[in-house]
A and B are shown apart, each in its own frame.
Chain A
Amino acid sequence: MSELVRRDPRQEWIIRNRLHPQHLEALAQMGGAVANEWMGPNGVIRRNPHAVGFIGPNGIRRIDRSGVQQAAQAPGRSVEAKDARQRVTIETPAFMVAVVPDMAGGRLSTHDRDLLGLARQLADADPAQPGAVLAIVFGEHKETAFGEAGIDRLLHLEGERFSGYLPELRVATLQGVERDLAPRYWLLPDSTTGGGELGRRLAARLDERPAAQVWQVEADSESTTGWRCTARGAAGRDDVTRALPRVVLALAECADPVSETRHAAEAITLSQELPEVLGRIQDMGEVAVDPASVSLAEAEFILSAGNGVKDWDGYHHAAEVLGATKGASRVAVDDGYMPRDRQVGATGTWVSARVYVAVGISGAIQHLQGIQSCEKVVAVNLDEGCDMVKRADLAVIGDASQILAALVARVEQYRAEQQENRDAA
């Protein structure tokens, strides 16, 4: 159907005029119900206050200002239901801004999104000559919303070659991108999960002096590049203000993430073959670390127990089998089931786990504060209405000890299957 709005001024006039003899017929033609909003002749939204609301079951007019009812009876052409974000496609960019996101856990992290926001600022500064944001992603990923994060071009380098820790290959690849596309800026997250290291390697290879620990970028007509950046120096005690260099290592919250536009995230490939790199650093795999030795604040996977846990032996066994760090709510610690240094929450440790499994914890506000920065929360609880279940990404309602026992059995079965596969291979 055509998107063009066909208007009939006479019809609209009849609808506005409640005393017109054809008023009701005209209303019926407009879509069955009484139209309470329409575009006026000057482009202003007009409202009919008499048509607001609906007749409730007791014959009384009810007005729901939440918009829920209105949306239900709105005619087919509704603007609000659609994604309001503007779609932007940049066909022939004047320049490129390259971003190498960390993709910790296979998804764009908040740090990556902030960095993409900064890249958009640099690319969109001159509307007459828009630049394109190029993201370079190594290895497998689980991200689906590259376009929403503000990426115009996506160079995805996958395959067996790019799995594992290969800093030399990655730098050589980025050097290939530099030769091929010559981005105006290189933005990398100054993080410990890889971006900081890769960015410094790249800067040394490209012979560019990078700005590290950048937390602010502003337009500046006096600077040679048109931008000036503020970076932390001297172990965070000084601020260094300088012209923005080509390679930028930025801290988290350096800019606001993209929220108002959607971009194409068009996949591209390199025109040249990548060179073979002589690897002087060989990755021999991650080493199993005893989860109990990892401090609670930086543990990745926490199995936390609360008042609802009755079978403590089963809980400790489950934590060992899953390879999870143990945590506890305040009640479990006060009752003497867990040591004080395992307490999670405002009065204990603020945790940053990627996966937090709360067993028998109803979710006091102090506890929920402590798990604010956890990515995925799983709740096992008997009470469906508790706050932890509302917070959780996955909640299982049932008896904690039975579910933990079933989970242990399932994980042991999975381990056995893996062992068989390994033996067969």
Chain B
Amino acid sequence: MPHDVSNTSASHSNASGLNVTVLVSVGRHPLTARARRADQDARAVEMALTLESTSVNLLHAGQQDSDHEAAIRGYLGMGIDSVGLIEQKPQADVVPALAKALRASASQLVLTGTRAETGEASGVMPYLLAEALGWPIITGLAAVEKIEQGTAVVLQALPRGKRRRLRIRLPAIATVDSSAPPARQSAFGPAKRGVLNLHQEPSEIDEALSSWHIQPARKRPKRLKIVKSSSARDRFKAAAAKADGGGGQTLSDVTPEQGAEAIFKLLKEEGVLR
């Protein structure tokens, strides 16, 4: 696939280090519903730009029209010269096209957002790509600490603000979620000047999509608190009484040491003491 390589060669030449490809998509503003750069993908671009001695390539697969172009140019405004566009039909499955392009490129690290902001947005695409390419995949990338001898040491964001250190073998795919640092602003001038390297790929139409029924989201019903009890007194108590723990243990008339020991035991059982 010579045209794939030529697509990314412009940005290859400026650095010798790691080759990072960021897969970007067209987002949708939650309030105005306008096309924009997707938030998580923009964070992925930001993370790629902050890595030292890397060349960053952007890749997008999807339909081409003026709205989408404006959104894609939003990524160029972050300080990138060009973006590779793979043209696909609106109902196409983009995984084969992307896998083909990535296989042809010399990318060692592929970054992308966790899930799209339009369409099915199931968040499965990075996993399908990883399966197709046979690369490892990690989620919730928070920072890349160092890259050495074909491996990367990264920090993974966990819920509750925690971090986990992982070593992954390259080439690899990593997804970025909202715990990554926020994206820089997109500047208008560079966005206008940036180059879109367009090329065609045969589209594989997603057959299953046509059988689905898509409608604006309904509000989820609130779960009712059902008290299953045979006695009217229990039902009344549950409806009227203040919520109390029930079955809680109370230690009175103990020395501070005994009390502290009991608290210590609970903290240790719960595993919150490091």
- Asked if residues B163 and A289 are in contact (CB atoms below 8 Å), the reply is yes
Are B117 and A235 neighbours in the complex by a CB distance under 8 Å?
yes
List B236-255 residues whose CB lies under 8 Å from chain A.
Answer: 242-245, 247-254
Chain A, residues 246-276, CB within 8 Å of chain B (1/0): the string is: 0001000100100110000000000000000
Give a binary string over B119-139; 1 marks a CB under 8 Å from any A CB, 0 the rest.
111111001101100001111
Does B164 contact A389, Cβ atoms closer than 8 Å?
no
Q: Is the CB of B257 within 8 A of A289?
A: no
Can you pick out 20 interface pairs between chain A and chain B where the beta carbons lie within 8 Å of each other?
A: A200-B124, A204-B124, A204-B130, A233-B121, A235-B28, A235-B30, A235-B116, A235-B121, A238-B216, A240-B120, A284-B166, A286-B158, A287-B165, A289-B162, A355-B266, A398-B259, A405-B256, A406-B260, A407-B260, A407-B264
Chain A residue at minimum C-beta to C-beta distance from B217 = A239
Q: Considering the chains assembled together, what is the distance between the CA atoms of A357 and B260 in angstroms?
A: 12
Q: Does A392 contact B (CB under 8 A)?
A: yes
Contact B127 A281 (CB under 8 A): no
What is the minimal beta-carbon distance from B139 to any residue of chain A, in angstroms? 5
Among B80-88, B102-110, B185-193, B225-233, the stretch that binds chain A is B225-233
User: B248, A392: Cβ atoms under 8 Å?
Assistant: yes
Closest 5 CB pairs of A and B: A406-B260, A396-B259, A294-B161, A212-B122, A397-B252
Task: List CB contacts (< 8 Å) of A67-90 with chain B.
Answer: 67, 80, 84
Specify which chain B residues have a CB less than 8 angstroms from the CB of A301 in the assembled complex. 267, 272
Q: Is A6 an interface position by the 8 A CB rule?
A: no
Q: Is the CB of B121 within 8 A of A204?
A: no
**Which residues from A are CB-within-8-Å of B248?**
389-395
* Binary contact readout A41-66 vs B (1 if CB under 8 angstroms, 0 otherwise): 00000000000000000000000011
Residue contact B230 to A298, C-beta cutoff 8 Å? no
Given A284-B166, A390-B245, A398-B254, decide whether A403 and B216 contact each other with a Cβ distance below 8 A. Answer: no
Rounded to whole Å, the gap between the CB of B258 and the closest CB of chain A is 8
Contact B166 A281 (CB under 8 A): yes
CA distance A192 to B250 in the complex (A): 35
Residues of B within 8 A of A288 (CB): 274
Interface residues of B in 152-171 (CB under 8 A from A): 153, 155-156, 158-169
Contact with B along A195-234 (1 / 0, CB 8 A): 0110011011100011111010000000000000001111
Closest chain B residue, CB of each to CB of A384: B252
Contacts known (A200-B124, A234-B28, A235-B30); A394 close to B266, Cβ less than 8 A: yes
Q: Separation in Å of the A398 CB from the closest CB of chain B?
A: 6
Which of A66, A236, A322 is in CB contact (< 8 Å) with B273? Answer: A322
Q: Is the interface of A mostly helix, strand, loop or mixed?
A: mixed
Question: Does A38 sit within 8 A of B, measured CB to CB?
Answer: no
Cβ < 8 Å to B, chain A residues 357-414:
357, 365, 368, 372, 376-378, 380, 384, 387, 389-399, 402-407, 409-411, 414
Q: Does the CB pair B136–A281 fall under 8 Å?
A: yes
Q: Is B261 an interface residue (CB 8 A)?
A: yes
Cα of A404 to Cα of B257 in the assembled complex, Å:
9
Within 8 Å CB of B66, what residues of A? none
Q: Which residues of B contact A407 (CB under 8 A)?
A: 260, 263-264
Taking a contact as CB atoms under 8 Å apart, the answer to whether A389 and B124 are in contact is no
Give Cα distance in the complex from A213 to B217, angstroms: 12
Q: Which residues of B contact A235 (CB under 8 A)?
A: 28, 30, 115-118, 121
Q: Is B65 in the interface zone, CB < 8 Å from A? A: no
Contact B264 A242 (CB under 8 A): no
Q: A392-B245, A403-B260 are in contact. Are A80 and B214 (CB under 8 A)?
A: no
Closest Cβ neighbor of A241 among chain B residues = B213
Across-interface contacts of A237 in B (CB, < 8 A): 28, 30, 216-217
Given contacts A259-B228, A393-B248, contact A294 B216 (CB under 8 A): no
Question: Interface SS of chain B: helix, strand, loop or mixed?
Answer: mixed
Q: Is A282 on the interface with B (CB-CB < 8 A)?
A: yes
Q: Does B148 contact A (CB under 8 A)?
A: no
Assess whether B217 is in contact with A232, with CB atoms less than 8 Å apart.
yes
Interface contact B272-A300, CB-CB below 8 Å: yes
Judge whether B124 and A203 touch: CB under 8 Å. yes
* Shortest Cβ distance from residue B126 to the other chain A in the assembled complex, whole angstroms: 8
Residues of chain A in range 183-201 having any CB-CB distance to chain B below 8 Å: 192-193, 196-197, 200-201
Partner of B267, one of A106, A196, A234, A322: A322
CB B223 to nearest CB in A, in angstroms, measures 5
Collect the chain A residues with CB atoms within 8 Å of residue B257's CB: 406, 410
Contact residues in B for A213 (Cβ distance below 8 Å):
122
Other A-B pairs beyond A298-B161, A390-B245, 4, CB < 8 Å:
A237-B28, A300-B160, A300-B162, A410-B257
User: Of the candidates A165, A234, A396, which one forms a contact with B251 in the assembled complex, judged by CB atoms under 8 Å apart?
Assistant: A396
Give the nearest-CB partner of B167 in chain A: A282
* A234 and B244 contact, CB distance less than 8 A: no
Closest B residue to A191 by beta carbon equals B159
Q: How far is the CB of A256 from chain B (nearest CB, A)?
A: 8
The CA of A243 and the CA of B213, in the complex, are separated in Å by: 10
A293 surroundings in chain B (CB, below 8 A) = 161
| Measured CA separation A356–B252 after assembly (Å) | 20
Interface membership of B215, Cβ < 8 A: yes
- CB-CB under 8 A from B254, the residues of chain A are 396-398
Partner of A285, one of B165, B250, B266, B272: B165
Contact check, B121 vs A387: say whether CB atoms are below 8 A apart: no
A212 to B127, CA, bound (A): 13
Is A280 located at the chain interface by the 8 A CB criterion?
A: yes
Tell me the minimal C-beta distance from A400 to chain B in angstroms: 10
Q: A165-B166, A394-B263 are in contact. Are A212 and B243 (CB under 8 A)?
A: no
